[in-house]
Amino acid sequence: MTQPQIKCPYCQFDIPSTAAVCGHCTKELSLVKPLMVSMDALTNELALLKTEVAELRTRSVYAAVSGEGQHGVSGDLQAQLEFVEPEPKISGTQSILIFVGSLLCCAAVLDLLHWILLFIYDTNLLVLRIITVVIPVLLGIFLFRKIKIHWVIGIAGMLALGSISVMGMLAITSYIDGVAFMPESVREWREVLEYGFAIACSLLTGLLIENWRVAHQASLRKNITLSLLIERDKEGKFKAPEWTEKIESLITAAAPFISAGTAIVSGVRVFMG
Whole-number Cα distances in Å, 257 to 137, 140, 205, 213, 243: 12, 14, 8, 13, 22
Percent of the chain surpassing pLDDT 70: 67
Q: Is 266 or 97 the better-scoring residue by pLDDT?
A: 97
Report the chain's terminal Cα–Cα distance, integer Å.
102
Report whether 205 contacts 260 (CB < 8 A). Answer: yes
pLDDT one-digit tens code per residue, 205-225: 888 888 778 777 766 555 545
Please name every residue paired with 147 in a beta bridge, in sequence order, or none if there are none. 90
pLDDT, one tens digit per residue, over 1-32 is: 566 777 787 787 887 877 778 877 887 777 77
Burial of 136 from C-beta contacts in 10 A (0-12 / 13-18 / 19+): buried
For the chain, which residues make up each domain, given as ranges? 1-31, 45-85, 93-271
